[in-house]
Amino acid sequence: MPDPGGTPLLVAKGVSRSYRVRGRRAAGRPSTIRALDRVSFELRSGEIVGVVGRSGAGKTTLAKVLLGLDPPDEGSVLYVGRPVRNLTSAEARRMRRAVQAVFQDPHSSLDPRQSVGDILAEPLAVHRLVVRGGRQRRCLELLRGVGLPAQVEFLARRPRELSGGERQRVAIARALACEPDLLVLDEPVSALDVSVRGQVLNLLLDLHRNMGLTMVVIAHDVRLVSRLCERVIVVAEGRIVEQGEAHQVLDRPAHAVTSELLAAARWLEEAPRPAATRPVSEHDPRC
């Protein structure tokens, strides 16, 4: 583990990423989309940081860049002080083990043909992780660690036999199998029922507190992120428009996008009363 006071675990320096838009576009639309525009921030070991923004703000592109799945066009990502672009193959292997991802929809991020046991054992085999007491015992330990039944019977189950919440826990257990330094979670609860979200969010709080795991949590719900994370980064149109301590962002949002996200989240949470009406013409065309 890197020294928390020393080199940041991960640094993004002026990272930009554009995508070409293929196929016929409606007139007047640009043929490239700048998904990330000169994004810079630092992530210290042991931190839990939230990234919030609207759909299309560049949140998922940022996740891919941080994970090393998508190289930036400009700027660089440093992992423990070393540019990810120039890692030696041994360093790259270490990073692929130490930086793990959990995606939005566990239905599509888990292979339907693998059993839970296969899913959890694969990273152990790929990264040649030496496991005391054997792989099965390690898999059961991982299940217990995410609050699933640590039973051999459960290892034999397939993803389709699990509920959404159980699937997302399996996806988290798979990430933990690699003993990561950093977990990047892209909308980890938005595909789950409201009633199950709490279970997964509490698990993340526990992992952070008990294991000191560093996490980046990406979500569109700013209130949820502010409750989970110490620091919040707000993105819009590929740029960081605001960042700060969670309570500070919640209490005194500095940017209009943050205020908009907060207002919507509060509105959706409020006790029911007759909804305010607004002329249709005022709606944002992007909606």
Partner 1 sequence: MPPIVQVEELAIAFPGPGQGWRRVVDGVTFSVEEGEAMGVVGESGCGKTLTALALVRLVPEPGRIVRGAVRIGGNDVLAADERDLCAIRGGLVGFVFQEPAQALNPVRSVASQVSEAARLHRGASKREERALAARLLAEVGIEDPGRVARSYPHQLSGGQRQRVLLASALAADPRVVIADEPTSALDTVSQQWMVELLQELRGQRHLTLLFISHDLALVGRLVERVTVLYAGETVESARRETLFENPQHPYTKALVQARLAANGESGERFPTVPGVVPRAGDWGRGCRFEPRCPFAFGRCREARPALTTLGGGSMVRCFLVSDAEEADA
Residue ranges in contact with partner 1 by CB under 8 A: 23, 25-27, 54-56, 163-166, 193-199, 201-202, 205, 220-224, 226-228, 230, 246-247, 260-261, 263-265, 267-272, 275-278, 280-281, 283-287
**Token duo for residue 131:** 């496991």
**At 249, which helix (H) or strand (E)?**
helix 246-251
Task: Give min distance, CB of 196 to partner 1, in A.
Answer: 7
**At 148, which helix (H) or strand (E)?**
none
Between residues 25 and 144, which has the closer beta carbon with respect to partner 1?
A: 25
204 closest CA partner among 274, 102, 124: 102
Between residues 137 and 247, which has the closer beta carbon with respect to partner 1?
A: 247
Between residues 130 and 268, which has the closer beta carbon with respect to partner 1?
A: 268
Cβ contact 162:170 at 8 Å: yes
Task: Give min distance, CB of 270 to partner 1, in A.
Answer: 8
**Cβ of 160: how many Cβ atoms within 10 Å?**
9
Task: Give min distance, CB of 233 to partner 1, in A.
Answer: 16
* Long-range interactions of 261-268: CB distance < 8 A, separation 24+: 261/52, 261/53, 261/54, 261/220, 261/222, 261/234, 262/222, 262/223, 265/221, 265/222, 265/223, 265/224, 266/223
Task: Give min distance, CB of 122 to partner 1, in A.
Answer: 25
Between residues 90 and 271, which has the closer beta carbon with respect to partner 1?
A: 271
Entry field: residues in the chain = 287
Between residues 137 and 266, which has the closer beta carbon with respect to partner 1?
A: 266
Task: Give min distance, CB of 24 to partner 1, in A.
Answer: 8
- Give the Cα separation of 115 and 43 in Å (integer): 34
- Give the Cα separation of 208 and 46 in Å (integer): 8
- Give the Cα separation of 125 and 69 in Å (integer): 21
Task: Give min distance, CB of 62 to partner 1, in A.
Answer: 15
The beta-strand segments (E) located in 112-225 are 182-186, 214-219
224 closest CA partner among 243, 256, 197: 197
Between residues 124 and 222, which has the closer beta carbon with respect to partner 1?
A: 222
Between residues 152 and 256, which has the closer beta carbon with respect to partner 1?
A: 256
Between residues 83 and 267, which has the closer beta carbon with respect to partner 1?
A: 267
Question: What's CA 271's distance to the chain center, in Å?
Answer: 30
Task: Give min distance, CB of 68 to partner 1, in A.
Answer: 26
Task: Give min distance, CB of 106 to partner 1, in A.
Answer: 12
